[in-house]
Amino acid sequence: MAVDASIAGVLGAARAFFDELNHSYAAVHRTKEDLFWAVYMALASSDDAAFARAETTFKEFVSDPAKLRVAREHVVRLETLPSSAERDALLHGLRGWVAVFEANIVDDPQGKDLQRQIIEAEAELFAKRRSFEPKHINERGQWETATLGSLATNLSVNPVEERRKSSFDAFRAIERWVLDNGFLDIVRLRNRFARALGYGNFFAYKSVKGERMSQETLAAILDDFLARTEAANTASLEAAAARHGRSAVEPWNLRFFASGDVTRRFDPYLPFSLALRRWVESFRRLAIRFRGATMQLDLLDRAGKHQNGFCHAPICAWTNEQGEWVPAQINFTSNAVPDQIGSGQRALATLFHEGGHAAHFANVTQNSPCFSQEYPPTSMALAETQSMFCDSLLGDADWLVRYAHDPSGQPPPRELLRDRIAAVQPMRAFDERAIAVVPCFEMALYRLADEELTPGRVLALARETERRVLGIESPRPLLAIPHLLNQESAASYQGYLLAHMAVYQTRAFFLREHGYLTDNPAIGPALAGHYWAPGNSVDHDTTLRSLTGEGFSAKYLADQCNRSVGEAWAEAEALLDGAASRRYPKSRVAGLDAYIRVVHGDEVIADSSGGEEAMCRKFEEWIRARYPDAR
């Protein structure tokens, strides 16, 4: 009896501590994320100071040495007990919390003070950035205030070089504004923070904390990928210059000559108003479900709104101590201008990308919210693998034929599909290297001494890195990328490239197993079981081995980059022929199992309370009423 009482005491104490951690974290996390949404969406309830305080409270929670010490003590005691369902579940959950604290711990008074200073400085920079309004010349030849999304789209599709150049100049103006308004002071603070914690610089700190790899290991992966794709990148630039003249490889021209005409020709097949419907239908047919989540989508551009898409979850999915499922609450956003050429294609990309994140975090089925939150020890590369896999489907010829229809209901002809591949495939190496250039730059940026952090030196470093990695100066100048400005996303961009490597490894697996991806109902359950359910309780390599049977490999992405147009078209034709002979289920496909609200700031445009079909129809009516030039 004494032994049983002792075991019960250890289990009871561990249970009380674990439950308190879970519920306290859920409250702190939600407060921060609700304020984050209000500030970044520029809502009427926006409160920059309150958000900064909530961010500090959150940071203090996940970096509390006392919580780490007690969690470790409970783990040690539980490890001495015989295995049982209760003991094993508690041990699993508390080990998850130990991983969270170890990934975020700031066990140093100076480090804590510097962390607070960084949060305050970033909040001040973000508040000021909202009032900076870059301008460019739009499709109609008019000067207008532009967002990052509209600048990028104008660079890709505007047929007038002067107007494209205005967008590029606006990107460069953002760079100068960032350098003149406190970013370099934030870089110094971040480096001081990292050194206080025993790291050489902030990039080295984030590499270990974010991806569980050293800066040197990451550099080796980047160098290997760059070496594998150097020839293909050089060939693509030379081909563009040979076909269109040397001016085609000017940074404000490259995107247009690479894809502008095809983007414009595809526009009638991918109108903005139908983007929501096509996302819903495609995810439903993939059997992707959201396990009762509440989802809020803010898709349209407006003044003051954060100019980059993101997905955050104020409520993390988990199973509580009563065995009850706590469904996620998830927000995601884009910055669409519905009557701009290419806006429908950008909207689809955002819906599939951020919707992939949402599916991931809605399907983590562990016993604590610590496993389903997006911050360390959650790997950015693991998280981005889910979103990028989903948005990769949009480039598949069979997906386009099934979903991209013009007003008369006709899919794009094969000639246009081939022209798209002829435009996109030669730029594959460049596009992937355009991701790699960001960590290459940030790695070098955080190695600079404080006295070297001057606007002139940093701009020179940016241009030098762009030319070395891309062969030209970047169409999207480095310091105009918003990820660099926020501590959570800074020095983390390499996660996108690592994720792309995993995406093409995953695609290769499904193609080997099933022969197709579009509307394959085996995909949702497979991703949910192997990639999503564990959350951050396992690392990226483990999830890949679970599904594909092999560890992380860059081979599949490099192979994609190095294919010829002919090879890429042959694969597309095989998918088209397979789709033409495939019998898709005729029965009604189950819904997404989510309550969805589509909003524009504080206004609710549509929701799924009356069904997903009614939501899509109401959204389409709202867009057509507000934007008569959009379809």
Q: What is the end-to-end Cα distance of the chain in Å, rounded?
A: 74
User: Which one has a higher pLDDT value, 584 or 365?
Assistant: 365
Q: Give the separation between CA 88 and CA 79, rounded to whole angstroms.
A: 9
pLDDT of residue 1: 44
Residues 159-215: pLDDT tens digits? Answer: 999 999 999 999 999 999 999 999 999 999 999 999 999 999 999 999 998 888 899
Mean pLDDT over residues 548-557, rounded? 90
pLDDT over 70 (residue 3): no
pLDDT of residue 335: 82
Can you give the pTM of this predicted structure? 0.86
pLDDT over 60 (residue 610): yes
Backbone angles phi, psi at 137, to 5 degrees: -100, 120
Q: Give the separation between CA 399 and CA 27, rounded to whole angstroms.
A: 41
pLDDT of residue 181: 95
Specify the range with the lowest mean pLDDT, choosing from 10-19, 220-229, 355-364: 220-229
pLDDT of residue 329: 98
pLDDT over 80 (residue 251): yes
Percent of the chain exceeding pLDDT 70 equals: 98
DSSP string for 549-602 = SS---SHHHHHHHH--HHHHHHHHHHHHHHHHH-----SPPP--SEEEEEEETT
Average pLDDT of the chain?
93
Mean pLDDT over residues 400-418, rounded? 95
Minimal CA–CA distance to 438: which of 495, 361, 375, 394? Answer: 495
Q: Give the separation between CA 557 and CA 118, rounded to whole angstroms.
A: 36
Mean pLDDT over residues 18-27, rounded? 98
Residue 314: enclosing H or E segment and its boundaries? Answer: strand 310-315
Specify the range with the lowest mean pLDDT, choosing from 265-269, 388-392, 456-460, 585-589: 585-589
Cα dihedral 569, 572, 574, 579 sign: negative
pLDDT over 80 (residue 583): no
pLDDT over 80 (residue 107): no
Residues 330-370: pLDDT tens digits? Answer: 999 988 888 888 888 888 999 999 999 999 999 999 999 99
Residues 277-293: pLDDT tens digits? Answer: 999 999 999 999 999 99
Specify the range with the lowest mean pLDDT, choosing from 314-328, 385-399, 548-562, 595-609: 548-562
CA angle 422, 423, 427 (to 5 degrees): 105
pLDDT of residue 531: 98
pLDDT over 50 (residue 385): yes
